[in-house]
Amino acid sequence: MKIGIFDSGVGGLIIAKAIRKAMPEYDYVYLGDTKRVPYGNRSHETVYEFTKQGVGYLFRKENCAIVIIACNTASAKALRRIQQEYLVENFPERKVLGVLVPTAEECAKYKKVGIIGTSGTVSSDSFVCEIGKINSKIKIIQNPAPMLVPLVEEGEKELALPFIKKYLKVFDGKNIEALALGCTHYPFYKSEIRKILGKNIKVISQDEIIIDKLKDYLKRHDEITKKLSCGKHAKILVTDITKNVEKLTKDWFGEDTKPELVKL
């Protein structure tokens, strides 16, 4: 059985690349819903339906033992329902994890943090809630950065810079100790963000923190780990093949890996 990674678009490829580099022995399947990206402005019900379709595909068609939802909007709006309803009714022996809680745990190490995310993630207050469960005294400043997802999907760096500066300006003078990139697309711009913020503000990038969390989870859940196949293979599935999907797949997974088109 495989490790599945689901995202609304290409952002989760950054997570998939990091996980595979750290644990190359396993077989992976990535599924990006590139036809319906972004999820950030969708309703809770729509995000749940889209996420359920993606997770269901990875379980039914690709025989995944565990699926990582590498999308903060889906983690915020759909994960709990997926775990408590969909899995219980359909795949009780399999697991679905998100990226939001591990990020909240990292944020909780600081006294004052900033968060940028999609409009859906920010409006849900999921980060505020999860961080508050750990330490309610932490001060949190959120700001939506909706334009970054479509810009990442287009592989655009230069045009993104004015938007990045605009979204980060909110944190000027707020004395934050760390900034969490609350969307798996955003690490695409982490070098630009770090340059703007300077060395005194820690940038929490999910591709850098999710690896240790997943390793720890697999160590604690041998019933999942022992099911995983070790063929060192990676498959990239998308609902719409774009030039950037093809480029990122080749750059990050090798010339022999090509994205495959699927329908949810």
**For position 123, which CATH number holds?**
3.40.50.1860
The predicted pLDDT at position 245 comes to: 86
Q: How confident is the model at residue 87 (pLDDT cuts 50, 70, 90)?
A: very high
Domain match, 65 and 154 both: no
Q: Is 64 within 8 Å of 233 (Cβ atoms)?
A: no
Question: What contacts 67, CB < 8 A, 6 or more positions away?
Answer: 3, 4, 5, 6, 55, 58, 59, 94, 95, 96, 97
Q: Is 55 within 8 Å of 74 (Cβ atoms)?
A: no
Angle, alpha carbons 86-119-240 (nearest 5°):
65
pLDDT at 219 over 90: yes
d(CA 257, CA 234): 8
The predicted pLDDT at position 244 comes to: 82
The predicted pLDDT at position 248 comes to: 83
pLDDT at 232 over 90: yes
Tokens at 260, concatenated = 């495959």
The predicted pLDDT at position 9 comes to: 87
d(CA 135, CA 167): 26
Last-in-domain residue among 159, 187, 206: 206
The predicted pLDDT at position 199 comes to: 93
Last-in-domain residue among 161, 183, 206: 206
Residue 155's Cβ-side half-sphere holds a number of Cα atoms within 13 Å equal to 10
| Residue showing tokens 């969909």 | 86
Domain match, 46 and 87 both: yes
pLDDT at 102 over 90: yes
pLDDT at 153 over 90: no
Q: Is 184 within 8 Å of 72 (Cβ atoms)?
A: yes
Domain match, 163 and 37 both: no
| Residue showing tokens 């500066």 | 165
Look at 13 and 54; give whichever has higher pLDDT: 54
Helix/strand/coil for 50: helix
Mean residue pLDDT across the chain: 93
The predicted pLDDT at position 239 comes to: 96
Q: Is 6 within 8 Å of 86 (Cβ atoms)?
A: no
User: How many domains does the chain fold into?
Assistant: 2
Tokens at 227, concatenated = 């099911």
Domain match, 107 and 75 both: no
Domain match, 71 and 129 both: no
Q: Is 54 within 8 Å of 264 (Cβ atoms)?
A: yes
DSSP H helical segments within 94-205, as ranges? 100-107, 119-124, 126-134, 148-153, 160-169, 190-197
Catalytic sites, residue numbers: 71, 183
Domain match, 237 and 188 both: no
Domain match, 137 and 255 both: no
What percentage of the chain reaches a pLDDT higher than 70? 100
Phi, psi of 178 (to 5 degrees): -150, 155
The predicted pLDDT at position 154 comes to: 85
Domain match, 196 and 216 both: no
Q: How confident is the model at residue 155 (pLDDT cuts 50, 70, 90)?
A: confident
| H or E stretch covering 5 | strand 2-7
The predicted pLDDT at position 125 comes to: 92
Look at 163 and 254; give whichever has higher pLDDT: 163
pLDDT at 223 over 90: yes
Domain that holds residue 248: 2-98+208-261
Strand segments (E) across 47-133: 64-69, 95-98, 112-117
pLDDT tens for residues 240-249?
998 888 888 8
Domain match, 72 and 145 both: no
pLDDT tens for residues 24-76?
999 999 999 999 988 888 999 999 999 999 999 999 999 999 999 999 899 98
pLDDT at 214 over 90: yes
Indicate the pTM of the whole model.
0.88
